[in-house]
Every structure is written in structure tokens, then in C-alpha cells.
Amino acid sequence: MKKTDYSMLIDFYEFTMANGYFESDHRDRTVYFDLFFRDIPDNGGYAIMAGLESVVDFLENLSFSEADIDYLRSRGIFSEDFLAYLADFRFTGDVHAVPEGTVVFPREPLLTIRATAVEAQLIETYLLLAVNHQSRIATKASRVKHAAGKNRILIEMGARRAHGVSSANLGARAAYIGGADTTSNTLSDRLYGIPAAGTMAHSWVQMFEDEYAAFKHYAELYPDMCTFLVDTYDTLKSGIPNAIRAIKEVLVPKGVKNYAIRIDSGDLTYLSKKARNMLDEAGLENCRIVASNALDEYIIRALLTQGAPIDIFGVGERLITAKSDPVFGGVYKLVATEEEGAIVPKIKISDNPDKITIPHFKKLYRIYDEQGSAAADLLTVHDETIDTKKPLTIFDPVHTWKKTTFTDYSVKSLLQPIFKNGKRVYELPDITAIKEYCQKEMDSLWEEVKRFDYPHQYYVDLSEKLWNIREELIRRHAED
């Protein structure tokens, strides 16, 4: 398929700043930027990292065409030397990133960029776009799947309500990483290998002389993937009885055992309970029940709490748009520069304490307790290491008297090298491996972190060295 060129998907002020850096002493200055987020959407306890594959593709293919250069020249504000630089542009920096599917938390660098100031500035918009959107959808899908439970199937079916083509396709990919089992979007199957599946629409039922004829014909055409939409006319009086008849007359004689009914309107708890009774009385205990209609994690949790015997959930608009809290809120901030080969930490100060950045080129460690559960994350300066043979004491970076000491523990470094001097050094895993990794990540969390209401706070602490550097920078700037 023809690939879309996103090279000019850059906020205009990034071009003006890059031109300014190029025309000043900052042209070749090496800088470090972190991409991170401040708050977990939906007041949740965790988020899921996604979008790295899009970032890799963008950086590997970032270049500017003659038409791009002509457009920039037409604005009349960019130097010819800068435009000549862009004409030969290739990304030459380093990238460290948290792998897709990783459980992540506020203030942690999901991406760290080391590059010239010009390069680092030009890539900001796309990196934020890719990570913000896909991480948001993956996080929402994870919550919906957690509500449904591992033994029930989640279908992502929101393409027709997505905010554009890429939102539909990349949203389906992110949803699959986060927990969706399949998608209604055929193109996302073709592009990313996500299994596409579907049932029928009400229009199919309406096209035939009666409901039974519609069901019978569909069963004859697709005996091995048959789900009957039973609420076109009357779910209990006609839809389910006609589905039962089609199953018994067409599918059972063929030995088919995999079939379902779908309810897309009405009181899903009441109708699914009635449907289950009718199917069981007809000897179709293995017939599964699919429910759809503006579902999300809260509605699914309520349905299951009320005893709805639903096996499969089709979730559309509220997943693909993350309707309840649609913005992930990732930001991209300068955290260090290089001066004569030395890394110099930089900090952004704000009247809002939550917006004061964590400076320096950093490492991110996950600490696991003796049961193998994720217990806390620790940010350190890049040159620090953790000796797991020794006790490890961490402290809350705000309420510093709150301390925890680990004696029987293990750690994992989360930030992985992706690019080195512009060359990719990371093998991108396939979508199935990412999804399986994400599930393992979820399994490592305490259940208290995963609950929807007032989740347990997962701590992201700073090493003593990093905390001291941050406090010194805050003090220094306060005195200026």
C-alpha cells in the first residue's frame, strides 16, 4: 500500500525555532528531551505505552521533498542555508524508549531523545501525536478488557466513529495491544495482522422477506462464523426464536458448534438472561451471547455485576475515541544539554509543582517484590546502577519521610535503546508478541492498582542523587 508522508506534520513554531537554532550557536548543540505524561486518564491507576512502531517508522523515513522546501521558502522567513540543510535532512540522533505494551506511570520518560537541537525540535509534534493517541487507546482498551475479564472476548468495533482514518487504524492496533481480542476494521488486519471479524447489520435482516430467511441464508453462507443479530424487530419474540431455528436446521446438522447471537439494544442484562434461558432450553448451551451498544468498562462492569451471561463484548465509540477522558496529555520537555562532552541537567520551573520537570539524562527501573509483582519504579541518573545484592531504600520525592526498603527484590531497566546515531538498533516485535507482553505487564500489577475507583497509588520515586540534583536546580533558579 502507498505510505502517507508525514514529514511536514510539524508545528510551525518548531520550524521557526529550528531555523533559529541553525542560525545561532545552538546549531550543533546536543540536547536531551523526555516525552512523558503527568496524569493517568480516567483517574486510573496505570497507563499502557503504545505508538513506538509509528515513531520508528517516522524517524527512519523523515525527509523533506522539493515541494516541502518550496513551501517553506515561500513563507519568506527561513534562511537558504537552513532550507539546504532540510533538503538533505536525516535523523542522526539516539532514542531510548519504553517498549510498547509496558505499564507506565506519570513523570516517567516514555521516550528520551538525544540529538542536535534542530533535530530534536523538529520531531516533537509527531512523537507526541503518535504516543499520546495510541497510549490513550491502549490504556482504555486495557481497562475495558479488565472489566470484561480474561475469559470473555472483547471486539474493537469503532472505526465508523473514529476521528479520522489513522485514528481508526492505529486505534485498532493500540486497542489490540491493550487487550482487545479482535477488530471489526479489515484494514487494520491487513496492515497490522490484527484478526478482523464481524457479524451482520440490521440491513441484512431487513433485506429478506422475513427474519428467519435472513438467518438461514447467512448460516448457509458462513456456517463457521455465524452470529445472528436478533434485535431488528423483537429480540425475545422473534429474533432469538428465529436464530434457534436457523441454528438447529442449518448449523447443527453440519456439526457446527461455534455460533452466537448478538444483542445491540435494550436492557442488556434482562435480555441476555432471557436469551440464555431460551438457548439452554433449546439445547444450545454452547451458543454464545454477544452484547454491543455504546459500551465501556463501567457499563460492562455493571452488566456482569448484575449477572448478565454475556460472553463477548463489542465496544466501539467509547473505546476508539476514549470518550470518557480522551486526552493522554503527554508532553515533550528539555531535560539536559551537552557542554564540552559533559551532560548538564536542565529544569523547567512552574508555580504548579506538578509541572516542574525531572532533569537530566535518566534511567528508569521497575522494582519487583519477592512475589514478582511490580512494587515501584525508580528514576536514576544515567550513570547510576542498582546492586540487587544490597538493600534498596526508596523515598517519596514529595513526602521524603515516606520510605520503603527492599531486601528481596529484582529490577528491570525499562528504557531500551532504539536508535544510535540515527541507526535503528532495536528489533520491532510483532503485534502478537507486544500483546502478550502487555498481558504479562498487567499480570504483574497488584489488583488494587487496576481497580477503577480510587486505585492504589503506584509510586515513581527518584534516586537520592537525582533528587538532590533536582532540588539544587530548583533552589538555584529560585535565587536568580
Average pLDDT over residues 15-32: 94
pLDDT for position 409:
96
Strand pairing report for 182-183 and 226-229: unpaired
Average pLDDT over residues 50-57: 98
Strand pairing report for 423-424 and 392-395: unpaired
Q: What domains are there in the chain, each with its CATH number?
A: 138-320 (3.20.20.70)
Hey, is 148 helix, strand or coil? helix
pLDDT for position 247:
98
pLDDT for position 22:
95
pLDDT for position 1:
43
* Residue-averaged pLDDT of the chain: 96
pLDDT for position 5:
82
CA angle, 121 then 126 then 131, to 5°: 115
pLDDT for position 479:
75
CA count, 13 A, side-chain hemisphere, 138 = 30
The rounded distance, in Å, linking the Cα atoms of 217 and 282 is: 21
pLDDT for position 400:
85
119-162 pLDDT, tens per residue?
Answer: 999 999 999 999 999 999 999 999 999 999 999 999 999 999 99
73-120 pLDDT, tens per residue?
Answer: 999 999 999 999 999 999 999 999 999 999 999 999 999 999 999 999
Read off the pLDDT band of 3 (50, 70, 90).
Answer: low
Give yes or no for residue 2 having a pLDDT over 80: no
Give yes or no for residue 341 having a pLDDT over 50: yes
Residues of the chain with pLDDT > 70, as a percent, come to: 99
